[in-house]
Structure 1
Amino acid sequence: MSSSLFSTDQLQTDSQVPLGDLDSGVLATLSHGGVVRHPSWSVQWWIGAEDRWHRPDVEPSTRQRWLKATPVVESVIKIPSGSAVCTTAVARRGGSEFPGVLSEVRNDSPIPVGCARVLASSGAMLADERGLFFEGEQVVSVTRGQLRFAGAESLDALAEMLAKEELSTEPVARRGGVVAVVAPLPHTATAAALVHPVGGGTNAILDRAALPTSDQIVAGWQRHVQAVGRVLPDDPRDSDQVSLATAFTLIEASAEADTAAVANSLEALCRIGAWPAHSYRCAELLTELRNRQRLNGSFEGENPLGSTVAAISAMSAAWSAGISYESGATLVGPIAAAHHWSSKKRRFAELAAVPHAAATFLAAAGTLEDLGQPEVASTLVATAQSLRVRNG
């Protein structure tokens, strides 16, 4: 992920924010204006003010920011009488194994407005009193009653329908295009919706009381990030960047990714001090990584040499992060075997082109020294020196 995503508390218009929690990994992405994007569909919110319908994804006034340096995003649009605010974060209903994306729209104007939830896709869609459905599965659950429904071939066509108040009191179904549920939103009221990127819809109206509040989600992320033993910069703005980067490192670490990504996630978690506060996540990644080592010492991957060097680096980082001596000792064989395979003469030229290979072997040598294997460590030092000579 680009570090520019965290360079300010205001998100840029081209930002793509990964949405997830500690256990789910990335569920979907959030783009400008609070649009939740899934590979098969997207969901957005619109506001019907006294002048017209406002679309946050294209409104010039739309602003987005992080809430208290956590993966909770606030989107704000200006309307003639004030503003409307949407807060987006991943949440779980009590007792549900399925995480969802909580989208709460608040009317910060002195007059009632309309709030539309809009589903766009190329598949079969339905809008009814429970929310929005894609291919028979509920992808948006809503709480508010007095709903009206609409459907059109495009977002622009839907905007024209809403402007003309061409809404139905009956559910609307169509294949391709867009469908919407529309509800009144009184002054200071909040309308909640739960988006379901990975299933978990109950085919019922959303029970808001079963979900945490946005403040609770923010507080939870602050606890997770503060548990990581990292050194924060003196400048509060830099500190916020570190906090956000830490949170997204926790979100994006996935044991289901390719080998290089698993290794990179493990190393990143270890480098930011996530072990021991999030030791279960680090241990899961380390176990998965070791399971991907072949009998010849290499690691699975599209680029086996690159994956193997990344795995060596990640295993060394795990030792540096403070795993027990007993756990560290189990890494000696995998590191030695990976080095033996990767440093063979016939692939040395390819190895020399792998970024940071020499530094990786030197770090791994230090790990092996710590674990009482000086002779094996010396072979890694020799390889690192040869790489540096070759690369000048």
Structure 2
Amino acid sequence: MTAAADQPVLDPPDIRVRPRSVHRAARHGHTVPEREWSPLGTLDSGVIGRVDGAGSVQLDGARWSLDWWIGAEDRWHHPSREASVRQRCVGGSPVVETAVRVPGGDVVSRSYAVQAHAGDWRGTAVVVEVENRTAVPVALAFVARPWVLDGPGALGSVSSEGSTVTLDDGRRVLLARDPARTVVDTGDRVAARLDAGDDDHGPAGATSEKDDLEAAFIVPLTHTAVARVLLPVGAGSGDAVPTGPWSAPDLDAVVAGWSAHRRAGTGGGEPSVSLPEPDWDDALEWAGSVLRVAGPDEVGSCLDRHRRVPNGPSAAVRSAEVTEALARLSAPDASVPVARGLAEALRLGGEVRLGDRTDGTVALLHAVGAVLAGQTDPDSEVAQEFVSPAAVAIRRLRKGRGLAADDDVTGLRSSAVRALGRVAAALDRLGQPEVAADARSVANALAAAASAVPTAASDTGPDASGAEPGVRSPLQTALAARSALRRGDGAVALANLRSAWSGRVGSGRSDAEIRPSEDGPEHPVGVLGFDVAELAARTNALIDLLVADGPEGPALLTAWDQTWAGQPIEAHHLPSAWGPTSFAVRWHGDRPALLWEVDPGGGDEPVLTAVGLDPTWVGRGPEGEGLLEAPKVESVVQIRTGGIRRRGSSG
């Protein structure tokens, strides 16, 4: 499928206010919307909406979006058109902050999902709050628009009473206080009326047979003031209808809650890194939050045969990357529904048939391994539910099913080896030694087959692509980083990692990008505004670099860049098959001192390596320190993946 196939073709906008994806496409001289947004959701709800690069919000299933416009002392500012827009995540959470520069400073919007109360209604909702950080008052308009984030939508009726706005699909927009003024009109008249000061007071109500209504609700925003609006999702509790006044957790509580979720999976310590690379320090925190929200939905989409097929690798590869990332980020809370859905597909069809007709057996094994990782009671409900699907999946791989011939090239065969190793360790703890031995036997056979496959030419650099000529698959770039680490090409691995993460902590990528000029920026041209599998793959690649699973213990710093010499490096509570792993690098002249700590999960003491720093060094035990030799100027490294063996065995 080509990047531009099956996409709406839009007339280039002039001075009208359009979604950011449409404005950016027109600015770059094409009509395919430049889809880029971030998911909004909670652990319980999954993804319930999305926010684009200008702070506009669209709830899932809605045919309209909520925008925010700022009336400053010079003019009305529309974030979708403004060059001064910046966006970031807050505190490693899926809270998206969008800032717009106006005379006097910034006005900032924040969007996040919560469990909220609105009258007798209880349910999931999106909060949009706008803060005036300028030194002067501004006017703020919350605008319900007949546009979705990537093109035309529909809005046929609007009515308001006090702070409650009801739209034609039955959804409600709940302001925190009554608006001071309103403007409701059709077409593109609302922006012009605001410019002219042509607004109304009191309740609003209008209908349009053309479904082209637009409604602005204006509130004054003094210096440091914050205005909030609630977008309830679904029916909520019972038959209650959301009404004001409403209440929801504030920003600090939401950010703290996400930090607690990330810590819970690693025994109380939040995964974190400090590296001499721009953007990488906050990568794992943010990815850990977003993948918990969006990962299960992505695997569900991989199962859907009606899904618009993204560019790049197959659903088998996509689902395996997502489930492996959830396992490595110690997210059993998100892995349980994923494992359950994949196991149900296996039970009903005898195979894990995905929407594009590829096989999801490897994804199932990653998900089951994540769910069983903390289990020790063979009679627990979780063990009773998932041990049997694991055994069936292992047998399928042993019989040569579940993997295609080209899965050596895509890395899916190596992914299967890692999944089998994780499942085998869990089965040992649950008193299933025969099934665990079968998993190791299959893993060793697959590892031997994978090691005999030559490197694919398409997987050697940051422009690797599974899409049409001229179109780049960001997911393929992340996969290329993982492949380069496996075969010991540290330079290519780091080039791809930098390409994947540069400027992208807090934002996702489309499934396809195009670069009109050799030294220019990429423009998204895919069908996805946020490719969850791409985020999972670049997260896996970053963890591969820092803490990979060696045959006898954690493999630390599997590649090295000479520009890092002399600079401190730290990693805390990174997940590994041997337990949460932390390490730090300090320098004695040109020689690195490595300090490590592995939270032991039982079995033999781990044997650590750090082949990127010193290929000859070996460390033993759950904690310690060692003085390594100075790293070579060109360090060629390799992660050993030649099969797995049971902890406690020899040879």
TM-score of the aligned structures, taking structure 2 as reference length: 0.51
Task: Report whether the alignment pairs 1:158 with 2:190.
Answer: yes
Partner amino acid, structure 2, of 1:228: G
Instruction: Tell me how far apart the structure 1 counterparts of residues 440 and 252 of structure 2 sit (CA, whole Å).
Output: 53
Q: Is the 8 A contact 1:88 1:102 kept in 2?
A: yes
Question: Which residue in the other structure is 1:252 paired with?
Answer: 294
Is residue 334 from structure 1 mapped to residue 389 from structure 2 by the alignment? yes
In the TM superposition, what is the alpha-carbon distance from 1:101 to its structure 2 partner? 1.2
Cα offset for 1:316? 3.8
CA RMSD of aligned residues (A): 3.4
* Deviation at residue 365 of structure 1 after TM alignment: 5.1
- Return the alpha-carbon distance in structure 1 between the equivalents of residues 402 and 340 of structure 2: 27
Q: Which of 262, 268, 274 is the aligned partner of 1:234?
A: 274
Distance 1:139 1:305 in 2: 41
Deviations 1:220-271 (A, max 9, x none): 2222223332643223952311100000011113375544677654432221
Q: What residue number does 1:4 align with?
A: none
- 1:204 pairs with one of 243, 260, 274: 243
* SS state at 2:281 partner: helix
- Aligned match of 2:97: 74
- Corresponding position of 1:132: 165
- 1:323 pairs with 2:378: no
Partner deviation per Cα, 1:250-305 (whole Å, 9 max, x = no partner): 11133755446776544322211234xx4xx4333333332221367412422455
1:190 aligns with 2:226: yes
- The structure 1 residue matched to 2:83, chosen from 60, 75, 80, is 60
State the Cα distance separating 1:172 from its structure 2 match. 3.1
1:150–1:179 contact (8 Å) kept in structure 2: yes
In structure 1, distance between residues paired with 2:294 and 2:355:
20
Return the match for 2:433 from 363, 372, 381: 372
The alignment partner of 1:293 has SS state of helix
Q: Which amino acid aligns with 1:179?
A: A
102-111 vs 374-383, which deviates more? 374-383
**Residues in 2 aligned to 1:241 and 1:346: alpha-carbon distance in whole angstroms:** 35
Indicate if the aligned counterparts of 1:45 and 1:116 stay in contact, CA closer than 8 A: yes
Structure 1 equivalent of residue 175 of structure 2: 142
Relative to structure 2, which stretch is displaced further, 113-122 or 182-191? 182-191
Q: Give the Cα separation in 2 of the matches to 1:51 and 1:214.
A: 30
Which residue number corresponds to residue 336 of structure 2?
283
Identical aligned pairs, as a percentage?
27
Map residues 106-121 of structure 1 onto 2, 5 A cutoff: 106-121=131-146
Amino acid at match of 2:260: R
Equivalents in 1 of 2:250, 2:443: separation in Å? 53
Name the CA shift for 1:310/1:54 in 2 (closer, same or farther; >3 Å): same
- C-alpha change, 1:295 and 1:118, in structure 2 (3 Å) is closer
CA distance in 1, matches of 2:325, 2:403: 27
For residues 294-342 of structure 1, give each alpha carbon's deviation from its aligned partner in whole angstroms, at most 9, with x where no partner exists: 36741242245521232234334544x3332625686554344334445
In 1, distance between residues paired with 2:58 and 2:227?
20
Residues 291, 262 of structure 1: alpha-carbon distance in 2 compared, 3 angstrom cutoff: farther
CA 1:387–1:56: 2 relative to 1, 3 Å: same
- Structure 1 distance, partners of 2:180, 2:44, is 34
Count of paired positions: 373
Structure 1 residues 219 and 344, CA, compared in 2 at 3 Å: closer, same or farther? closer
User: In 2, Cα distance between the equivalents of 1:381 and 1:92?
Assistant: 43
Counterpart-to-counterpart distance in 1, 2:57 and 2:346: 37
Whole-Å Cα distance in 1 between the matches of residues 169 and 420 of structure 2? Answer: 56
Match of 1:23 among 27, 37, 44: 44
SS state at 2:260 partner: helix
5+ long unaligned stretches in structure 1: 1-11
Question: Equivalents in 1 of 2:401, 2:44: separation in Å?
Answer: 42
Task: Name whichever of 34-43 and 303-312 sits farther off.
Answer: 303-312
Q: How big is the shift at 1:21?
A: 1.1
Contact 2:319–2:363 (8 Å) recurs in 1: no
After superposition, the Cα gap between the structure-2 partners of 1:257 and 1:263, relative to the gap in structure 1 and judged at 3 Å, is farther
Secondary structure at 2:83's aligned position in 1?
coil
State yes or no: 1:362 paired with 2:417: yes
Amino acid of the structure 2 residue aligned with 1:18: P
Do the aligned partners of 1:143 and 1:193 also contact (CA within 8 Å) in 2?
yes
Task: Specify whether residues 359 and 93 from structure 1 end up closer, same or farther in structure 2 by C-alpha distance, changes over 3 A only.
Answer: same
Question: For the structure 1 residues 51 and 87, does the alpha-carbon distance in structure 2 shift closer, same or farther, using more than 3 Å as the test?
Answer: same
The one-letter amino acid paired with 1:68 is G
Return the alpha-carbon distance in structure 1 between the equivalents of residues 419 and 93 of structure 2.
Answer: 34
Cα contact 1:297–1:337 (8 A) shared by 2:
no
Cα drift, residue 46 of structure 1: 0.9
Q: 2:115 aligns with which of 88, 92, 98?
A: 92
Q: Distance in 2 between matches of 1:187 and 1:303?
A: 53
> What displacement does 1:197 show?
4.2
Residue in 1 aligned with 2:362?
309
Deviation at 1:113, TM superposition (A): 2.3
In terms of mean alpha carbon deviation, does 183-192 or 91-100 score higher? 91-100
Report SS of the residue matched to 1:233: strand
User: In the alignment, does 2:217 pair up with 1:181?
Assistant: yes
Matched, 1:267 2:324: yes
Further displaced range: 63-72 or 130-139: 130-139
| In 1, Cα distance between equivalents of 2:129 and 2:374 | 41
Counterpart amino acid of 1:103? V
Seen in structure 2, the aligned counterparts of structure 1 residues 205 and 242 have a Cα distance that, compared at 3 Å, is same
C-alpha distance in 1 between matches for 2:206 and 2:302: 39
Q: Which has the higher helix share?
A: 1
Output the amino acid matched with 1:322.
G
Q: Distance in 2 between matches of 1:296 and 1:143?
A: 50
Gaps of at least 5 residues in structure 2 are: 1-20, 25-34, 147-153, 304-315, 455-651
The one of 257, 263, 267 equivalent to 1:220 is 257
Query: Per the alignment, do residues 328 and 360 of structure 1 end up closer, same or farther by CA in structure 2, a change over 3 Å counting?
Result: farther
> What one-letter code is carried by the residue in structure 2 that aligns with 1:69?
G
Given that residues 113 and 185 in structure 1 are in contact (C-alpha distance below 8 angstroms), is that contact kept between their aligned partners in structure 2? yes
